[in-house]
Amino acid sequence: MALDDLEKAKKEVTASGSGEEARITEIGYFYLAQQINTLMQIHNEFRNNVDLRFDSLRQEIKQQIDGIKQELKGEMDSVKQQNGGMRQEFKGEIDSVKQQIDGFRQALVGEIN
């Protein structure tokens, strides 16, 4: 706004019939509307920037969580394989103990009869 327009607007705003009321001209409303629109645009841009930042953070966190899931799944599979091997080993030992017990039982039955 030119300096003359600013002075004119100030005079019109302060001019009044009773001396107590300020009179706002149409140009004043226009400038006020422009300021409001500018503030609304700034607010909307800020909101959009915040939304974009949250979306990017959400995606980054999701990728990190997926990586941790894959890592844990791999470790759990490894533990399952180790447990499966130990299970087979224990099962073999238990079967051999059962066979020894059956052998002792057969021997005792033979001695008793």
Question: What is the extent of the structural domain holding 13?
Answer: 3-112
Mean pLDDT, rounded, for 52-66: 95
Residue 2 in tokens: 């030119």
Is pTM, for the whole model, over 0.75? Answer: no
Q: Which two tokens stand for residue 73?
A: 């799944």
Instruction: Give the span between the Cα atoms of 46 and 40, in whole angstroms.
Output: 10
pLDDT score recorded for residue 26: 77
pLDDT exceeds 60 at position 21: no
Domain count for the chain: 1
Residue 84 identity = G
* 69 has pLDDT over 90: yes
17 pLDDT above the threshold of 60: no
